[in-house]
Structure 1
Amino acid sequence: MSGDREWIINFAAFLAIILSIVSLLMFFRIQRLRMREEGEKIIKKITDDLPVGAFIIKNGAFIYVNSRLCELTGYSAETLKQTKWQDIVSLQNFEGTAAVINDLREGRIEAIEERIVAVRGDGARVSLIVKGQKISDMRHSHICGGTADVEESTYLKSGHGKEENLIDPVTELPGSVALRRQLEHETIENPALSLALVFVDIDSMNRVNDTIGRDAGDKLLQEAAKRLRECEGERVYHYRGDEFAILFKNRTRADLKMHMKRIMNSFTAPIQIHDTPWYETITMGVSFFPEDADSGGRLIDSAIAAIHYAKKNSRGKYEFYNPGIINSLRKRLELEMDLRHAVKRNEFTLYYQPQIDLKAGTVVGSEALIRWIHPIRGVISPGIFIPLAEEIGLIEEIGEWVLRTACRQTKQWNDQGLLLNVSVNLSPKQLFQESLVDLVRSSLTESSLSAKRLQLEITETAGADLFVMAQKLQELEEIGVGISIDDFGTRYNSLNYLKQLPLSQLKIDQSFIRGNRHDHQDVALVRMIVALANELSLQVVAEGVESAEHVQFLKQTNCALAQGYLFARPLTAERFIEQIDPIQRQLSEMIMSEI
């Protein structure tokens, strides 16, 4: 018994020591937490009133941001703290920014000052000047810094002195700093005043820059500024890029609708760019103070949100801000963030829709079609995520994955004795990327696929430079790949494409095939397209084939290839192989029934 008592006493003493140590550790942790909380309160007090964005980054992730950074980027503090800097930097300067930050982290440089393009929460781009330096303690290192948009940076460096710094040199209009100062004055000095802020977005600005050149883009901005100034006088500001702002006081919604209709009418006449008439549309978003926002910054954010909501539905219109817009844009932002992760997490897969030789009654190839298998939302349609990928700069990376994957898979089938071709779609942005020819060449080399087995599909691009496009496609043709024009007959420029581009194939849009077979116009158009293609020695593929009647009609017109749900929906690579024999049996039965 004495032994047991001694064991209990020793155990109790040991437990007391353990509890003392735990209590001491908890005390120190609480003290550290209190010190950190106090430190954060001090940092917040110092930085929240700064006119520039402030941040602290640890291991690539934001651990502190001030309210101005949230305003610049369009993200809440909670969202930014769950985000890495890589997620908000545009891909156009991602690699350069990563290299500089790595040099700072490794101690090769002491500080950074970089001009970057950030992707805002509403999808817009903003050019920022970022300054930062590395701060280390015994265990951790952080990157601390500040940022301002380019125009504000110029203004701040000037010491708030010269008025000319508030004028945009291209449009000769007051810029974003002037707008913010005016809004600050109005909302603070006249809080009872009703304000309406109309944001105007030039819809084709990026397309003009990409296809005609920066000089043409500046000309478009200047002409837009002139027309807006003629309509609204001194109320007009050039906010940034392709965005203008117009500030109204004490106006009703009915008044604003009249103003916006007048502005839209002013853009109906073409703009002369390099002696060429350019028809431009605009999209507008409107927000009110104090109904929609309690500060100038939030008034701007609400008007921009209204524009992006309007553009999501259709361009060339206007939208008044409402709280539901933020929820809609938040869902879009979540989808954008998921899409960025999808690239890294390999959530994409390719499906293949069989292409049928109508004369031989055999499967001769496939069209490769991308699918996004979201871990929570399931399959997401390309019609949803491809336009988003183009907008946020991911389409080239996704397009490269599609091309390389399709070439590898088709080569595997060829090695198994199935001599199949594959068609891969190119987006307009891919078509004009400088590295496209090298990408196609390397994809063929790496997969060992014969160039004649690859067909690249393009769609008509409104306003595209056909001369530049022809040069690019000529280089691709010299490699040995085929060039196909998709959805032929649905755009105004189709005949120009046939005339100027080195095409080997055209695809008749499914709307002509699925139409009423007794519609003489559709029948005549299909016959005409096939006859025209045969005259030009182009192969014809008919899309949207859904019945034996469709097949019979297409064979009568001498159409070479067909694809559609009659034969198969898009299939995984495994299912595609399994379905070849059943499809060919179906074709044989169809041919026998005709006999």
Structure 2
Amino acid sequence: MSIFSIKFVVAHISGIVYYSWLIFLGVGFIGMLMYFNRNLNENKSEISTIKKEKKDLESVFNNDRSFLWEIDKNKRNLKASKAVCKILNIDEFDYPNLIDSWKSSVYPDDLPDFLKFIDELDNRNGKSLEVRVYDGKCRIIWLETFVNVVFDDYGQVLKYVGTSIDITTRKLKEEKLRKNNHYDQLTNLPNRKKFYEYFTKQKKEKSDDIEMSIIILDIDRFKIINELHGRNLGDQVLIKVASKLQDTLGNDAFIARESEDEFMILLESSNEKKTKLIAEKLLNVFKKPIKINDQLFYLTISMGISRYPETAQDIDALYQQAEIAMYKVKDSGKSNYHVFMTDDAALIERKRRIEFGLKEALSRNELYLLYQPKVNLSTGVIYGTEALIRWKHPLLGEVSPAEFIPIAEESRIIQDIGYWVMFEAIRQNKIWHNNGICLDIAVNVSVLQYEDPFFIERIKQTLLHHDLDPKFLIIEVTESVMQNIDHSNRIIKELHDLGVKIAIDDFGTGYSSLSVLNNIFIDIVKIDKSFIDGILTKENTASLVKTIIQMGKSLNFHIVAEGIETEDQAEFLKVNECSYGQGYLFSKPLLPKDLPKKIT
């Protein structure tokens, strides 16, 4: 189908000269371009401008992004301009010339709209249709189609003419924008907005008696990975977690990423029993480590579950309930799941009060330290002490460190609290030294402090301020800092150069291994209370403790057993050559004024 034009000049009695082009599409009139000039001999440049505009108009109908078409009055035959071949990737004589032939090219989901469009052509003047079609290479092309009705002199329909524009590029951009608004860019999982929309859709479409479960899944201690290894590696861990969730749950769940280390799972047609089985399955799956760059990461997860319609029917309420249940798991030791119960809300309110109170605790002098003596198991002599933080809230009373320390870490208040403990413990130890009581003092340090670039300098300045010899200070770190061995060794070496000793606290409960301990400059290994509790009743635990003691002696570590409560436990440790210990058998944590009495 070709395009041609007719040029003519019209002189009006007023002297105005019209230059006109009628544009035709072989099968009918398309448009007219008209300019005028008062004097044919004046402004000759205007003629070249008109010619250029005429070419531009023709190019509109001959470009490679749109094509013209016409349909006969019986809505059977279709003719189109040559551009259709390029847009649809078909040979010039292969394009469909029957409406019925076009039907097979239309994307199935769009076919009803296409048929309705054809059926209502008489009423479509100025209205458009967006439709997907398959091109000659079976790729999807988006077309936006406009139509006008051509009538004969008697007002009867002669034919239908229109324009179809290839809008695939625009649609792809819109889809990308839509995906950005509904999908997480890192994991490609749906985001919270998409999750909410999906839940609402399922709620409307399913029967009234459908049961659904929402699971909020949080990666325990994920911030430690980012702190120790950087955000890039942390992102790789999140991608692996997303993949593991998809592989485990498949089509049985709708999975979304809610925030940095939190995922949302919707289980459809799932009663409470089935939901619990799936939660158990997820816990078991995450017992296997994730491997990234030849490095293994042992992750645990905490899950909160809410139930539709049992606990709530509104998505916002269901999300809040699942989050409350998840925080209850966090507060109870992590690595588990919990189904929301009505009295759980009181627990989350307590947590919020604790977090708010911690921000004011230092300025209101509500925090204080107790000191637990450490003894030589052979002689019973106190040789040192460990500083233990306590908090007396004005309304809640005594709040356990097991409750407020995790909250302080999550809110990052732990850094200020940690440095206050360091300052206060060193200050108190100097007072004892001035009174002739020469003890070393152990201070626990959080991972966030350990990662502070000014960590070493702050310790150094605190020791100088109180004039305490660094050899009387022990820094206790948890095994989690061992995940980044290079960084750990650098910090530990700087502390050694300063004269400070390093202890690994709660050994056996975290990330380290014997090979790691052989490659870092530590002085002391502390055996966790959970192992000491079982040395007299569990053969495997007893064997493990014996191994730790022997390993420590071979590496020239001091071994300290925590949580000794009975004479039999102390005797077992002495027989197996553990030299040092602490626990209620020897002394409970003491106020500063009471410790000298214990020594004398």
- Band the TM-score falls in, shorter-chain normalisation: 0.5 to 0.7
Which residue type is aligned with residue 569 of structure 1? K
Among 243, 252, 257, the residue aligned to 1:226: 243
Q: Deviations over 1:73-113 (max 9, x none)?
A: xxxxxxxxxxxxxxxxxxxxxxxxxxxxxxxxxxxxxxxxx
Partners of 1:243 and 1:288 in 2: how far apart?
19
Query: Which residue of structure 2 aligns with residue 155 of structure 1?
Result: none
How far does residue 367 in structure 1 lie from its aligned partner after superposition? 1.6
Query: Which residue of structure 1 aligns with residue 337 of structure 2?
Result: 318
Q: Name the SS for the 1:168 alignment partner.
A: coil
Partners of 2:544 and 2:199 in 1: how far apart?
58
Q: Name the SS for the 1:500 alignment partner.
A: coil
Partners of 1:320 and 1:537 in 2: how far apart?
48
How far does residue 410 in structure 1 lie from its aligned partner after superposition? 0.8
How far does residue 499 in structure 1 lie from its aligned partner after superposition? 0.6
How far does residue 482 in structure 1 lie from its aligned partner after superposition? 1.0
Partners of 1:290 and 1:558 in 2: how far apart?
60
Query: Which residue of structure 1 aligns with residue 326 of structure 2?
Result: 307
Partners of 2:310 and 2:577 in 1: how far apart?
64
Which residue type is aligned with residue 507 of structure 1? K
Partners of 2:274 and 2:378 in 1: how far apart?
65
Residues 164 and 397 (structure 1 numbering): CA distance in 2 closer, same or farther, change over 3 Å? closer
Which runs of 5 or more residues in structure 1 are unaligned? 1-157, 582-595
How far does residue 518 in structure 1 lie from its aligned partner after superposition? 9.9
Q: Deviations over 1:33-75 (max 9, x none)?
A: xxxxxxxxxxxxxxxxxxxxxxxxxxxxxxxxxxxxxxxxxxx
Residues 293 and 477 (structure 1 numbering): CA distance in 2 closer, same or farther, change over 3 Å? same
Residues 232 and 363 (structure 1 numbering): CA distance in 2 closer, same or farther, change over 3 Å? closer
Partners of 1:366 and 1:398 in 2: how far apart?
19
* Seq. identity, %: 32
Matched, 1:198 2:209: no
Which residue type is aligned with residue 401 of structure 1? W
Query: Which residue of structure 2 aligns with residue 577 of structure 1?
Result: 596
Q: Which has the larger radius of gyration?
A: 2
Count residues in correspondence: 423
Contact 2:483 2:512 in 1 (8 A): no
Residues 523 and 289 (structure 1 numbering): CA distance in 2 closer, same or farther, change over 3 Å? closer
Query: Which residue of structure 1 aligns with residue 497 of structure 2?
Result: 478
Among 195, 217, 223, the residue aligned to 2:234: 217
Query: Which residue of structure 1 aligns with residue 369 of structure 2?
Result: 350
Q: Deviations over 1:492-511 (max 9, x none)?
A: 73523431221222334456
Residues 258 and 480 (structure 1 numbering): CA distance in 2 closer, same or farther, change over 3 Å? closer
Larger mean CA deviation between 548-557 and 469-478 belongs to 548-557
Q: How does 1:140-179 map to 2 (within 5 A)?
A: 162=178, 164-179=180-195
Partners of 1:332 and 1:392 in 2: how far apart?
12
Q: How does 1:9-88 map to 2 (within 5 A)?
A: none
Q: RMSD across aligned C-alpha pairs, in angstroms?
A: 3.7
Query: Which residue of structure 2 aligns with residue 405 of structure 1?
Result: 424
How far does residue 217 in structure 1 lie from its aligned partner after superposition? 2.4
Contact 1:195 1:249 in 2 (8 A): yes
Partners of 1:489 and 1:262 in 2: how far apart?
25
Partners of 1:511 and 1:254 in 2: how far apart?
32
Contact 1:284 1:318 in 2 (8 A): yes
Which residue type is aligned with residue 221 of structure 1? L
Q: Deviations over 1:406-446 (max 9, x none)?
A: 10111111122222221112233333333321221121111
TM-score normalised by structure 2 residue count: 0.61
Could you say which structure has the greater relative contact order, defined with CA pairs below 8 angstroms and 6 or more residues apart? 1
Partners of 2:486 and 2:304 in 1: how far apart?
36
Q: Deviations over 1:344-390 (max 9, x none)?
A: 31211111122334667643322211121233443333222222222
Q: How does 1:184-583 map to 2 (within 5 A)?
A: 192=208, 194=210, 196-204=212-220, 205-230=222-247, 231-233=249-251, 235-257=254-276, 259-260=278-279, 267=286, 270-357=289-376, 362-461=381-480, 464-488=483-507, 493-510=512-529, 529-530=548-549, 532-545=551-564, 559-581=578-600
Partners of 2:268 and 2:531 in 1: how far apart?
52
How far does residue 211 in structure 1 lie from its aligned partner after superposition? 2.7
Contact 2:213 2:270 in 1 (8 A): no
Which residue type is aligned with residue 588 of structure 2? R
How far does residue 491 in structure 1 lie from its aligned partner after superposition? 5.8
Which residue type is aligned with residue 397 of structure 2? G
How far does residue 467 in structure 1 lie from its aligned partner after superposition? 2.4
How far does residue 450 in structure 1 lie from its aligned partner after superposition? 0.8
Residues 375 and 264 (structure 1 numbering): CA distance in 2 closer, same or farther, change over 3 Å? closer
Residues 412 and 335 (structure 1 numbering): CA distance in 2 closer, same or farther, change over 3 Å? same
Partners of 1:247 and 1:424 in 2: how far apart?
44
How far does residue 195 in structure 1 lie from its aligned partner after superposition? 6.2
Which residue type is aligned with residue 422 of structure 1? I
Partners of 1:253 and 1:246 in 2: how far apart?
14
Q: Deviations over 1:513-540 (max 9, x none)?
A: 6667798877776666555444433334
Partners of 1:236 and 1:220 in 2: how far apart?
17
Partners of 1:330 and 1:398 in 2: how far apart?
22
Contact 1:195 1:247 in 2 (8 A): no
Q: Deviations over 1:286-343 (max 9, x none)?
A: 3344433343322222222232233333544433333222122222222332333323
Which residue type is aligned with residue 198 of structure 1? I
How far does residue 229 in structure 1 lie from its aligned partner after superposition? 3.8
Q: Name the SS for the 1:354 alignment partner.
A: strand
Which residue type is aligned with residue 403 of structure 1? M
Which residue type is aligned with residue 225 of structure 1? A
TM-score normalised by structure 1 residue count: 0.62
Residues 267 and 363 (structure 1 numbering): CA distance in 2 closer, same or farther, change over 3 Å? closer
Larger mean CA deviation between 261-270 and 239-248 belongs to 261-270
How far does residue 261 in structure 1 lie from its aligned partner after superposition? 5.4
